[in-house]
Amino acid sequence: MRRTKRYTLKGGANPLFHIYKTVSFWKTFKNTAVIEAGRFVPFVRWKNALYRRLLGMEIGEGTAFAYKVVPDIMFPEQISVGKNTIIGYNTTILAHEYLTDEYRIGPVVIGDNVMIGANCTILPGVEIGSGAIVSAMTLVNKDVPPGAFAGGNPMVIKPASAKS
């Protein structure tokens, strides 16, 4: 089970329809502007600085977010990425999910020296261990152990000892 906190609105209201009861409009507006700018900034150090200072993300030294990576727009402060990690082109990192009767928020923790391929989606409440490799187009819906190889949808994990 992913590590998320579950919330419901009074009267069973659809949380996405009532989005600004769950997160501030101005926070979402600012985060959207920062992330859209960051998606196109060609300098990794600038992008990391934007995300650290304006979104509250933890990003280790030497980490690179490729072109068009999208961190969570509503709760980016829930995302932590270690040192010397690569997040591939067009990957989405979610720290929230809205359902018809509840919404969930959970931290995403990505370790050191992780390689995440292009077009991945990382769901809230997961941890990707240091040294792990996630292949392109993977839906990361559970934890990936350190040093493991993970890929596909549904995601299949090969432990570090079986990687060769």
Whether residue 25 lies inside any domain: the answer is yes
Whether residue 9 lies inside any domain: the answer is no
Whether residue 104 lies inside any domain: the answer is yes
Q: Give the DSSP per-residue string, 100-120.
A: SS-EEE--EEE-TT-EE-TT-
pLDDT band at 65; cut points 50, 70, 90: very high
Which pLDDT does position 164 carry in this prediction? 54
The bridge status of strand 86-87 relative to strand 58-59 is unpaired
User: Containing domain of residue 112, as a range?
Assistant: 15-162
Report the domain count for the chain. 1
Which pLDDT does position 42 carry in this prediction? 87
Distance CA 31, CA 123 (A): 19
Give 106-122 pLDDT, tens digit per residue: 999 999 999 999 999 99
Q: Please report, for the domain that includes residue 36, its CATH number.
A: 2.160.10.10
Whether residue 59 lies inside any domain: the answer is yes
Whether residue 10 lies inside any domain: the answer is no
